Structure 1
Amino acid sequence: MLWNYLVKQLSTAKWRDIRFCSTRFIRVNRSQNASNYASSNKEKYITHFQITNNVPNNVLLYSCNKSKAMILISFFGLTQFFFWSVMAEFAYTKFKDIPAQENDNSVAWWRKINFGANKFRYSFLFVSVLFGGVLLYMTCLYPLRTVTQIWLLKGGEMIKLVTYAPFAMKRSIMIPLEKVSCNQARNGPGTQIYMKVKNKPMYFVLDKASGKFYDGQLFDYTVGMKRALK
């Protein structure tokens, strides 16, 4: 009886130690895995407080090359304006006021319309000039709102915004960082980012598909932030 009692106690203590060791081993492994996961993703999750915009030198944040497209757009607008100007001059000088014979039933109805009358001639002249002018204005405005480079200037308080001009020329403007707001995120859906600048009409356009972000995180926490512009 005594021998059986001793064997039972020893076996119970042995299994208790095994369960304790296995539980402790599992807890240690879980804590090590959690620490390894946190250390491996330390650089992946970066907060705003870990990024500073106080850069010692000028930093290029974004660039996009569309010189060929801007040249083609400018030539298209110029040729369209020339074409519609010729059409307007033709309508003003070549349309003759020749009254049609309205009582002649043998003539089709559309032949009875006097397109040389002043109301038709000046209407066609106005529409031609307006259409050509609108096309020229749009082809000049689009390059001015297409961003080719964004620089974060030394100190992080100002940015240098470089846009195109007609025929792929370039112009640059200095803007305080607090006056810039982006409505779309860099990693969000869509292929374009619309950037609003205070006291500037319309939006500036950044092309995510053909453009390149050199420092995406710095862009997100400086230029790419959405601000309330008052």
Structure 2
Amino acid sequence: MTLLSYASIILRKSAALRYPFNCQGCANIVRNVTSGSVTTKTIHDVNTNVVKDVILFKYENPKFYKYMNLFAVVQYMFWSYLGIFAFSSLRDAPVDKSKIDDDTPWFRRINLGENKYRNTLGTLCVLIGFGSIAMIWMYTLKSVRYLILNKGGKHVTFVTYTPFGKNRIMKVPLEFVCCKESRVNARVQLPLKVKNTWMHYMLDVRGEFKNPLLFDSTAGLARKW
């Protein structure tokens, strides 16, 4: 072996030591090292043309959503009752200004039965009740229970929770799904955006990625439309 060959080998090894992560998908290589043999498979090597439906993500926690939606219903009933009470039971009782002094509490200086106060309180209570149940229901409908890559690898199915305990199923083309954050960097929720839909679908990181490399190669990609 000539001197030039030795120099070439040394340069290649030094470059490999200096730039060990100079390739896309190396994080996947590290995470997929098996005991007994080293796997050098990246997301570019994954065959996404699956022969049957494959579960990519799973998060089973129905009790949490059941109790959360029960709380939302109770809040809605409570605030709605306060709103109806404000509209129907607050009476117009003008304040006698001659009896007001510096020691009089602020609530005794206000005539809550006056139209502007009664209507404001009633409307505010109704809005709080409706807003609380709407937020919790929307959060429930956007929380993913199962994410399934369908046979052929061209579509994914979102199975989400619902306020009344049943599943909500939506099948969309894979190219309509965009992952907004790296699965590794997500701390609480991993957001997935589906084209032509409102808000993001959320994958709770406490769930289980059943096929992480396949997820990274399909639904876990960031797409631009």
Query: 1:12-57 CA distances to partner (integer Å, 9 max, x unpaired)?
Result: xxxxxxxxxxxxxxxxxx9xxxxxxxxx7741x3233321111111
Q: Give RMSD over aligned pairs.
A: 2.0
Which letter maps to 1:47? T
Where 2:164 maps in the other structure, the secondary structure is helix
- Is 1:125 the counterpart of 2:122 in the alignment? yes
Instruction: Pick the structure with greater CA Rg.
Output: 1
* Matched positions, count: 190
Q: Give aligned-pair identity as a percent.
A: 33
Matches within 5 A, 1:40-51: 42-43=38-39, 45-51=40-46
Cα distance 1:122–1:50, how it changes in 2: closer, same or farther (>3 A)?
same
Is contact 2:44–2:217 with CA below 8 Å preserved after alignment?
A: no
In structure 2, the residue matched to 1:24 is: none
Higher alpha-carbon deviation: 62-71 or 182-191: 182-191
Structure 2: segments with no counterpart, 5+ residues: 1-12, 14-35
| TM-score scaled by length of structure 2 | 0.79
In structure 2, the residue matched to 1:161 is: 158
Where 2:98 maps in the other structure, the secondary structure is coil
In structure 2, the residue matched to 1:142 is: 139
- Is 1:76 the counterpart of 2:57 in the alignment? no
Write the distance in 2 (CA, Å) between the matches of 1:105 and 1:172.
62
Structure 1: segments with no counterpart, 5+ residues: 1-29, 31-39
Which letter maps to 1:91? A
Question: What displacement does 1:109 show?
Answer: 6.0
Write the distance in 2 (CA, Å) between the matches of 1:177 and 1:219.
11
Write the distance in 2 (CA, Å) between the matches of 1:156 and 1:213.
17
In structure 2, the residue matched to 1:113 is: 110
Write the distance in 1 (CA, Å) between the matches of 2:105 and 2:67.
43
Cα distance 1:105–1:145, how it changes in 2: closer, same or farther (>3 A)?
closer
Question: What displacement does 1:215 show?
Answer: 1.1
Write the distance in 2 (CA, Å) between the matches of 1:172 and 1:50.
30
Write the distance in 2 (CA, Å) between the matches of 1:92 and 1:196.
42
In structure 2, the residue matched to 1:86 is: 81
Matches within 5 A, 1:57-76: 57-76=52-71
Is contact 1:48–1:221 with CA below 8 Å preserved after alignment?
A: yes
Write the distance in 2 (CA, Å) between the matches of 1:141 and 1:93.
31
Write the distance in 2 (CA, Å) between the matches of 1:154 and 1:214.
16
In structure 1, the residue matched to 2:212 is: 216
- Is 1:185 the counterpart of 2:182 in the alignment? yes
Where 1:187 maps in the other structure, the secondary structure is coil
Cα distance 1:189–1:130, how it changes in 2: closer, same or farther (>3 A)?
closer
Where 1:116 maps in the other structure, the secondary structure is coil
